[in-house]
Amino acid sequence: MIRLTFRLALLALPAAALLAGCNGDETHHASTVVSSTSAGVGGGAGGSGGGEDCAAFGNALQQAVDQAVTQPKGGNALAVVTEQCGTWVGTAGEGHDGVALEPDHLLRVGSVTKTYVAAATLLLVADGAVDLDGTLETWVPGVPNGTTITIRHLLNHTSGVYNYTDITFLQEALADPSRVWTPQELVDIAVQHGADFEPGTDWSYSNTNYILLGMIVEQASGQTVSELMRERLLVAEGLDATFLDGEETLAGDLATGYSQSGNDVTHALNPSAAWAAGSMVATPEDVASWAAALYRGQVLAAPEMEAMLTMVPTGLDGVEYGLGVFGYGPQVLAGHEGIGHGGDIPGFHSIVLYLTDYDAVIVSIVNNDGANPARALANALPIVTAGDP
């Protein structure tokens, strides 16, 4: 049994409660599609790559995702990227009622959005348009401690800004899914609560930080967040199945997101309620390709990448946080080390993990609130790490 420490929390997956990702008796086959960027399809990070080795590895991964589906509604998508065998994508379960979840289905990825927004911010830092140690007050006046909160504090959740996605907000937002929220309205919710702590003195995950970063990105670039990300990130990496919902039209089939009781909650929350903190939609292959490009250092220049990977403690054993990225120690990942992010939004839960010693990406996304993406990830982890790094 492999145990991973991840806590599912709406719009964020900061990692805390101990969860098991064990094989179960349930198997819900749907479909498997392989997108290979090198010889063969799929493959262990330590394997020889290509041909029969990669095919066998793909079969093992398909079993891993099949065994992870536990709910009668919804399913699980698993994407794995290795240097030897490129990108493998497999699915199991339902994408819609009575319709198999397919690898080309779009899925909501919640707070994985923060990795894109962090990268966009750091590109503007590299341009000289944003000062990483400049103050929030320069861009968004009126936030408690705004004269001492820096852009870096926002990126690594040490700002002390109250998290607007509290239970009161969520109840209100879920009660009226048609309501469009402005970023300033979301910030105003946080402002009325005051600061949680002095900037830089503690760590607390706050979605407000990334709403503020979205506002800063827009001011510094003169573009919407989606325009900047499409121009500077998505087009550059060939990610044509990735969208910031609410700002862009989704081109593709968005899978149904189910509540644990099987109700359709795909559109239970207006995407404006999450915006730069969690409204991204993508295929599992695009998410895996993004993670591979970002964490392999292909998106940011060395100084910005070094800043992104400079971690601060979170107070959780084996868990740190950089600029839009979690760092996971061996006590969290069954003896391995990795970086990445997770996300939660009604009907969808995701984990994106880059195994640093194996140069491998594992992405697991489920479309049911009663499902746990850590299950398929835990099943896949020993397969991906079977060889020497």
Average pLDDT over residues 198-217: 98
Q: Which tops the pLDDT comparison, 339 or 9?
A: 339
* Whole-number pLDDT of residue 24: 32
The pLDDT of residue 106 is above 50: yes
| Host H or E run for residue 284 | helix 284-295
* Whole-number pLDDT of residue 200: 98
The pLDDT of residue 348 is above 80: yes
Non-local (6+) Cβ contacts of 188 within 8 A are none
The domain spans of the chain are 3-111+279-384
* Whole-number pLDDT of residue 387: 74
The pLDDT of residue 18 is above 90: no
CATH topology of domain 3-111+279-384: Beta-lactamase (3.40.710)
The pLDDT of residue 178 is above 90: yes
The pLDDT of residue 192 is above 80: yes
- Spatial CA neighbour of 298 closest among 81, 45, 47: 81
What confidence tier does 97 reach under pLDDT thresholds 50, 70, 90?
very high
What is the residue whose two structure tokens read 């960027």? 37
Q: How far apart are CA 115 and CA 203, in angstroms?
A: 18
What confidence tier does 85 reach under pLDDT thresholds 50, 70, 90?
confident
Look up residue 63 and give its two tokens: 């079993």
SS3 187: helix
Dmax (CA) for the chain in angstroms is 61
Of 16-25, 53-62, 253-262, 337-346, minimum mean pLDDT range: 16-25
Average pLDDT over residues 368-389: 93
* Whole-number pLDDT of residue 190: 98
The pLDDT of residue 29 is above 60: no
Task: Report how far Cα 330 is from the mean position of its chain's Cα atoms.
Answer: 20
DSSP per-residue letters across 126-167: HHTSS-TTSBGGGTSTTSTTTTT-BHHHHHTT-S-B--S-SH
Q: Environment class of residue 100 by beta-carbon count within 10 Å: exposed (0-12), middle (13-18) or buried (19+)?
A: middle
Q: How far apart are CA 319 and CA 132, in angstroms?
A: 23
The pLDDT of residue 6 is above 50: no
Helix axes 51-66, 373-384, angle to 10 degrees: 150
Average pLDDT over residues 1-13: 32
Termini Cα distance of the chain: 22
Whether 250 contacts 109, CB under 8 Å: no
* Model confidence pLDDT, tens digit, residues 143-152: 999 999 999 9
User: Mean pLDDT, the chain, as a whole number?
Assistant: 89
What confidence tier does 51 reach under pLDDT thresholds 50, 70, 90?
low
Q: What is the pTM of this model?
A: 0.90
| Burial 123-137, CB ≥16 within 10 A → b, else e | bbbeeeebebeebbe
* Whole-number pLDDT of residue 50: 58
The pLDDT of residue 245 is above 50: yes
